[in-house]
Amino acid sequence: MKPLFTACLAAALVVPVVAPAEDAAIEGVISAQIDAFRADDFATAFTYASPMIKGMFGTPERFGQMVQQGYPMVYRPEDVTFLDARPLGDRVQQRVMMRDTGGALHVLEYEMIETADGWQINGVRLLRAPQVGA
């Protein structure tokens, strides 16, 4: 019984990690898209989106409008900090903390997929802020 418990405990403690080269490439794609948003270069920002996202929005202008309205902290972040990345099947979920122009912190989860064109952003989800206090 003890060996089975030890094996189960060891398996539970193994956390999948993203290889350093993949991690750097993923962070590079997200950073490049944010830089494009900061420059109001929606055409370049759109190139980092996955085929699914491109199909949903159709044009860089519509995509840029959605980001401006729905994700202002991504459109104009004051500060960007990369948190953990974890593989999930053939995708990677990269968490990113952003400080908006008003000073509020936001944690977002980027879903990344690897395509023939390299890593691309397949979606962004705003995560609920952790509760503070008792």
Per the structure, the count of domains in the chain is 1
pLDDT tens for each residue of 29-63 = 999 999 999 999 999 999 999 999 999 999 999 99
Higher-confidence residue of 72 and 133: namely 72
122: burial class by Cβ within 10 Å (0-12, 13-18, 19+)?
Answer: middle
The pLDDT > 90 percentage for the chain reads 78
pLDDT of residue 48: 98
Asked if residue 11 is part of any domain, the answer here is no
The pLDDT, as a whole number, for residue 12 is 44
CATH of the domain at 34: 3.10.450.50
The pLDDT, as a whole number, for residue 3 is 56
Per-residue pLDDT, 1: 55
When pLDDT is cut at 50, 70 and 90, the band that residue 22 belongs to is: confident
Is 47 inside a domain boundary? yes
Segments of the chain assigned E as strands = 79-88, 91-99, 105-115, 118-126
Q: What is the pTM of this model?
A: 0.83
* Proportion of the chain above pLDDT 70, given as a percent: 83
134 in a structural domain: no
In a domain, 123, yes or no: yes
Domain membership flag for residue 66: yes
Instruction: Residue 54: give the domain boundaries.
Output: 20-127
63-86 mean pLDDT: 97
Q: Is 67 helix (H, G, I), strand (E, B) or coil?
A: helix
| Chain position carrying tokens 């960007």 | 80
Angle subtended at Cα 83 by Cα 15 and Cα 106, rounded to the nearest 5 degrees: 130
pLDDT at 101 over 90: yes
> Is 121's pLDDT higher than 90?
yes
Tell me, what DSSP letter sits at residue 40? Answer: T
For residue 79, what is the DSSP state?
Answer: E
Tokens read off for 93: 């979920």
The answer to whether 92 and 16 have CB atoms below 8 angstroms apart is no
Cα–Cα distance, 17 to 71 (Å, whole number)? 28
